């Protein structure tokens, strides 16, 4: 005998209307997931009010206190009760839910917070006196006079005291504070012209954990200043500016160089019309743009801001407004991929400065006692030449010393390389261990991994040939018939694009396609598995790069086997030709796997290693 279904009652249940308190507590479960969610809603309200300075005070990870103070337009006494009513807002009039230009628009945050905590709002509009209203567990108090110079102060105490079961699902105070800090930083990045301060009051005295003063200047200068504060100066120094526009959509921001990659996606910040979002379409576009430069276990660091007309993006698809839906997702994705490819190509052979910093860190000896004081400065070039001539060994001594020269370190004699030294990668001076080229620049030296550098050069050349001539297709003697059911139409819509990469398909009855050609460079392939991989990527990202990625992986492998091998001796002309080709080839600063192809050390840094500062 089957067990009774606990969801079905033997007697008919009566339908009843829930009271406002229960409705607000249910809404709070969607809008206020944790203290960071409450901070997000309150800071967004402050930004919508036109605040130029916002201070966020937190105690015990937001569980006991969240206070947001702003200098915005404020509210009058007649507005305070409405602010605590469900679906009451000054952001929209309700006639057009697509034309949303503010952070908030639902009118759910404040009543939801008041239903699960002890909420107090103190506000003063220009030309009026300050007033205060409170709500505890859904019970609203009367409006009363208060003292405030201007703006609004929203104080939330004892979050989830009315729903204690929710408290059990919160993490430690430290983890919740970290989540709050991440929310505040994302909103601070969205508004560089607004000063933001985050303080921790857990131990009584305020402790500033994050501070970002209002930035001035043009768009990119202000954004660079704010990103330096939030993401660190290293990011801005190792990122390229991005600015592009397509079909009414505009993308600006900064994208980190491939050699400045991270082990996780923690340094990826994406914004749509100023709103921080976590959208899989945008993350997929970002991954696709860097797919040719990074291995799958490395992640780029970016801060990208996509602006579009409000009617072309729907922000009303998630209670926390963390996701969006584009009317034309292909345009948004194509803009991101194209803009990033162009920006990274503009960087040329540039590699991140962190590579040199790591190299210097590996060279730096452990300190032993007080630093030594040297009584000499670096001599000039004429003095150095005279010293070299004076110290040059006589012919007999040179011949005697020659057998002791290690074969893995060879110094190349070049007639005149002073002109080459002014070029970015300098003039080749030596080859170490038959793999590393040492080049001298005007103000330092460059160490080049000859195999990694040539691998990227060959790879870029193969890709250029593929783009110009297309991918050669191999006709199948017997076409492979693949049954895909309802997905057949989706894959057939991609047929023209797949043909460019050498995969020829056509309809073959209901729900079935015939594969007549496959990319010759891939050799024998499982056509059905490839088509299903493409469909899976379409489901996940809205666009597939599976075939292109496989072909480029083959080109990368060919480039690896066809490049200058480690252990090969190269003459001075060959080494200098490699340096010049690197300077002229985009993306030559990293190999096909995202590793740096060269390290540049400044002379001042080298001198510091020897205490010559």
Task: Round to whole Å and give the CA distance between 525 and 548.
Answer: 14
Q: Which residue has the tokens 């043909």?
A: 499
Q: Which residue has the tokens 């891939």?
A: 522
DSSP 501: T
For residues 314 and 95, the model is more confident at 314
Q: Which of 56, 73, 74 is nearest to 65 (CA)?
A: 56
- Interval 368-418: pLDDT, tens: 555 554 444 455 555 545 555 544 544 543 444 344 344 455 555 554 556
Out of 64-73, 98-107, 271-280, pick the least confident: 98-107
pLDDT of residue 348: 75
214 CB-near residues (< 8 Å, 6+ apart): 52, 53, 192, 193, 194, 195
pLDDT of residue 73: 92
Within 273-394, where are the H helices?
Answer: 280-290, 329-346, 353-363, 381-391
Phi/psi of residue 411, nearest 5 degrees: -95, 125
Query: Tokens in use for 397?
Result: 């001594």
- Interval 18-68: pLDDT, tens: 776 666 666 555 667 889 999 999 999 999 899 999 999 999 999 999 999
Element (H, E) at 123: strand 118-124
The Cβ of residue 444 has, within 10 Å, a number of other Cβ atoms equal to 16
Q: Which residue has the tokens 């790879």?
A: 459
Query: Tokens in use for 390?
Result: 């004076």
Q: Give the CA diameter of the chain.
A: 113
CA atoms within 13 A on the CB side of 344: 28
90 CB-near residues (< 8 Å, 6+ apart): 79
Task: Round to whole Å and give the CA distance between 80 and 98.
Answer: 27
Task: Round to whole Å and give the CA distance between 486 and 513.
Answer: 11
Task: Round to whole Å and give the CA distance between 48 and 377.
Answer: 58
Judging by DSSP bridges, how do beta strands 268-272 and 302-307 pair with one another?
parallel
Task: Look at the pTM and tell me if it is higher than 0.75.
Answer: no
- Interval 478-502: pLDDT, tens: 899 999 888 888 888 888 878 877 8
- CB of 254 closer than 8 Å to CB of 234: no
- CB of 472 closer than 8 Å to CB of 521: yes
CA atoms within 13 A on the CB side of 342: 13
Task: Round to whole Å and give the CA distance between 519 and 501.
Answer: 7
The Cβ of residue 430 has, within 10 Å, a number of other Cβ atoms equal to 16
- Interval 95-148: pLDDT, tens: 555 666 667 666 678 888 888 889 999 999 998 999 999 998 778 899 999 999
Out of 127-131, 350-354, 576-580, pick the least confident: 350-354
Confidence of residue 246 (pLDDT cuts 50, 70, 90): very high
- Average pLDDT of the segment spanning 237-245: 93
Judging by DSSP bridges, how do beta strands 249-256 and 131-136 pair with one another?
unpaired
Query: Tokens in use for 567?
Result: 């252990």
CB-neighbour burial class of residue 474 (10 A; exposed 0-12, middle 13-18, buried 19+): middle
pLDDT > 70 fraction of the chain, expressed in percent and rounded: 76
Q: Please, what are the domains in the chain?
A: 20-212 (3.30.565.10), 219-347 (3.30.230.10), 455-562 (3.30.1370.100)
pLDDT of residue 391: 47
- CB of 41 closer than 8 Å to CB of 113: yes
Task: Round to whole Å and give the CA distance between 114 and 159.
Answer: 9
């Amino acid at each position: 005998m089957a067990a009774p279904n606990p969801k079905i009652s033997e007697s008919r249940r009566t339908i009843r209307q829930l009271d406002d308190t229960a409705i607000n507590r249910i809404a709070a479960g969607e809008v206020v997931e944790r203290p960071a969610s409450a901070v997000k809603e309150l800071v967004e309200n402050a930004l919508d009010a036109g605040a130029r300075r916002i201070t966020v005070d937190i105690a015990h990870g937001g569980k006991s206190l969240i206070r947001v103070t702003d200098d915005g337009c404020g509210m009058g006494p007649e507005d305070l009760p409405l602010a605590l009513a469900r679906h009451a807002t000054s952001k929209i009039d309700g006639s057009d839910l697509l034309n949303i230009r503010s952070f908030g628009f639902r009118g759910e945050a404040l009543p939801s917070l008041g239903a699960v905590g002890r909420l107090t709002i103190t506000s003063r509009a220009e030309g009026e006196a300050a007033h205060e209203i409170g709500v505890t567990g859904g019970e609203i108090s009367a409006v009363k006079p208060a003292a405030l110079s201007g703006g609004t102060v929203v104080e939330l105490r004892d979050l989830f005291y009315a729903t204690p079961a929710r408290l059990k699902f919160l993490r430690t105070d430290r983890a919740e504070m970290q989540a709050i800090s991440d929310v505040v930083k994302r909103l601070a990045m969205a508004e560089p012209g607004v000063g933001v301060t985050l303080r921790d009051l857990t131990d009584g005295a305020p402790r500033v954990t994050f501070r970002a003063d209002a930035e001035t200047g043009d768009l990119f200068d202000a954004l660079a200043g704010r990103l330096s504060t939030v993401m660190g100066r290293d990011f801005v120094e190792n990122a390229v500016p991005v600015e592009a526009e397509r079909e009414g959509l505009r993308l600006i921001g900064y994208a980190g160089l491939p050699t400045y990659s991270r082990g996780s996606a923690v340094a990826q910040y994406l914004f749509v019309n100023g709103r921080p979002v976590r959208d899989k379409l945008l993350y997929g576009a970002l991954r696709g743009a860097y797919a040719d430069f990074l291995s799958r276990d490395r992640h780029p660091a970016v801060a990208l801001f996509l602006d579009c007309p409000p009617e072309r993006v729907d922000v009303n698809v998630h209670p926390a407004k963390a996701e969006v839906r584009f009317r034309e997702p292909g345009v948004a994705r194509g803009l991101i991929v194209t803009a990033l490819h162009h920006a990274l190509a503009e960087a040329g052979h540039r590699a991140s400065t962190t590579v040199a910093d790591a190299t210097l860190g590996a060279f730096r000896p452990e300190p032993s006692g007080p630093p030594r004081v040297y009584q000499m400065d670096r001599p000039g070039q004429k003095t150095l030449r005279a010293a070299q001539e004076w110290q040059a060994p006589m012919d007999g001594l040179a011949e005697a010393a020659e057998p002791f020269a290690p074969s893995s370190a060879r110094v190349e004699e070049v007639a005149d390389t002073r002109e080459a030294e002014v070029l970015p990668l300098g003039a080749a001076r030596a080859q170490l261990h038959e793999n590393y080229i040492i080049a001298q620049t005007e103000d330092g030296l460059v160490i080049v991994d000859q195999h990694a550098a040539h691998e990227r050069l060959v790879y870029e050349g193969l890709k250029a040939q593929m783009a110009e001539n297309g991918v050669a297709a191999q006709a199948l003697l017997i076409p492979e018939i693949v049954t895909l059911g309802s997905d057949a139409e989706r894959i057939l819509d991609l047929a023209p694009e797949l043909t460019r990469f050498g995969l020829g398909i056509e309809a073959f009855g209901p729900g079935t396609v015939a594969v007549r050609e496959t990319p010759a460079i891939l050799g024998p392939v499982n056509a059905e598995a490839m088509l299903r991989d493409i469909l899976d990527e379409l489901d996940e990202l809205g666009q597939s790069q599976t075939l292109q990625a496989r072909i480029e992986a083959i080109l990368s492998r060919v480039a690896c086997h066809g490049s200058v091998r480690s252990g090969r001796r190269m003459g001075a002309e060959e080494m200098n030709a490699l340096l010049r080709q690197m300077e002229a080839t985009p993306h030559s600063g990293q190999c096909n796997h995202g590793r740096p192809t060269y390290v540049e050390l400044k002379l001042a840094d080298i001198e510091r290693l020897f205490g010559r500062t």
